[in-house]
Structure 1
Amino acid sequence: MKGLALLALAASLCPVVAVAADVNLDDMRKAIDKYKDVQVALADGYITPDNHCVSAANSGLPAELGAMGIHYIHPALLEITGTDPRVDGKGTYTDWMKPSVLIYEPQADGSLELVAVENLVFQAAWDAAGKTEQLVLNGRAWDHMADDPATAGDEAHGFTPHYDQHVWLYRANPMGDLMPFNPAVTCEHAEHKM
């Protein structure tokens, strides 16, 4: 639970000004239900750059935090500018009715189950746009993700420094609907684990 304590500390040090959004999760769910079918997501422009399933353990965090799953990103919404050595972009997109990332959990039968959504804003793009306010969803500050050179973990999950917020719309999360990892999600059936 050390990771949770660090998240709480980071949130307490954030600036007071915020870009706050209060979003009804039932409305969000209705707008996103069509993406339960991954083929609909693919037809609408979502892709998975590497098909890796993100778990806390493989990110250098305590295994009991669980996993996220496989991220399907929308390159146009994120305004991706490159992927080598890390995914980078100019995106500052924050619309929750069509989030920039869909997250699926691999199932034993090879299918994918939509478990969560995410929006991601690249830190450099946010700063370049002159935005100084803190991103907040339903009272929770978005997470700031950047690799720590002192660890072997991939804390930013293959991306340049960014802010992101997860919403567990389709899988109950005992830690809360807006936390990054979910102990009720697993990468056990994934071909590629990260």
Structure 2
Amino acid sequence: MNKLLIAAALALAPATANAADEPGLDAVRAAVERFRDVEVALAEGYVRDPMNMCIAAEQMGLPGSEGAMGIHYFRPDLLGISGPPNPRVDGTGTHTDFLKPSILIYEPQADGSLELVAVENLVFARAWGAAGHKAPPTFHGVSFEHMVDDPATALDEAHMFEPHYDRHVWLFRDNPSGVFAPFNPNVTCAHHKHEEHAHR
């Protein structure tokens, strides 16, 4: 019996150690604090979603009460994106470090400014599998969501991306749905102007 207990403990040890190595939410918040200024994000290589979309739950066929995500700014190098959609956005990156997130999410404000509300990491399913991973990435024990478009629906569940895994972390806006939920009822796209800042 003792041998079985020891074997079980050894089997669990790597997972426990990996979880312990993950940064806490306060550490992530401190690491990305400077990106509250979107100009800093732009200077460090983040680019605005070229479609200039502010994603709300209703656009995904969900109740409006679920709220919104916001506008996404991303680092092409961390996502491994080397070109425009063909026909969908694809990449080779397997980056999952939330101290240096590949995506920043902003809520448009009434005065035209942008407020940082969340961060996100995204890895493309094909690249993740090619790297030898058998299961989705996780953060604080929560698996990334698997996003893939369903051709049987009119909606684009994957937002013009190839199948991928992603995880949101709501650091700067309280989310009653949970810190890792995809949408936030306390976020709105009501002030989004599609043409505004489209060059960024």
Q: TM-score range with shorter-chain normalisation? A: 0.7 to 0.9
Query: Which segments of 5 or more consecutive residues in structure 1 lack a partner in the other structure?
Result: 1-16
2:123 & 2:187 partners in 1: Cα distance?
24
Question: What fraction of aligned residue pairs are identical, expressed as a percent?
Answer: 60
Post-superposition CA distance 1:113-164 (Å, at most 9, x none): 0000000000011112221133111121110001111211121112111000
Which has the larger strand fraction?
1
- Counterpart of 1:80 in structure 2 is 81
Which has the larger helix fraction?
2
- Counterpart of 1:45 in structure 2 is 45
CA apart distance, 1:93:
0.4
Letter in 2 for 1:76: D
Secondary structure (helix, strand or coil) at the match of 1:89 reads: coil
Greater displacement, 172-181 / 151-160? 151-160
CA apart distance, 1:22:
3.7
- Counterpart of 1:140 in structure 2 is 142
- Counterpart of 1:58 in structure 2 is 59
2:105 & 2:143 partners in 1: Cα distance?
20
Post-superposition CA distance 1:75-120 (Å, at most 9, x none): 0110103323221100110111010000000000000000000000
Superposition pairs for residues 1-194 of structure 1, below 5 Å?
Answer: 20=19, 22-48=22-48, 49-82=50-83, 83-192=85-194
Tell me which of the two structures has the higher relative contact order, counting C-alpha pairs closer than 8 angstroms and 6 or more residues apart: 1
Secondary structure (helix, strand or coil) at the match of 1:133 reads: coil
Greater displacement, 33-42 / 151-160? 151-160
Root mean square deviation of aligned Cα: 1.8
Indicate conservation of the 8 Å contact 1:79/1:90, yes or no.
yes
2:66 & 2:152 partners in 1: Cα distance?
21
Letter in 2 for 1:36: R
Greater displacement, 56-65 / 72-81? 56-65
Indicate conservation of the 8 Å contact 1:107/1:189, yes or no.
yes
Post-superposition CA distance 1:45-79 (Å, at most 9, x none): 00012221011111222222110000001001101
Post-superposition CA distance 1:143-190 (Å, at most 9, x none): 000111121112111211100000000000001001111011011011
Query: Which segments of 5 or more consecutive residues in structure 2 lack a partner in the other structure?
Result: 1-13, 196-200
Secondary structure (helix, strand or coil) at the match of 2:47 reads: coil
Letter in 2 for 1:35: F
Aligned residues: 177
- Counterpart of 1:11 in structure 2 is none
Q: Which has the larger radius of gyration?
A: 2
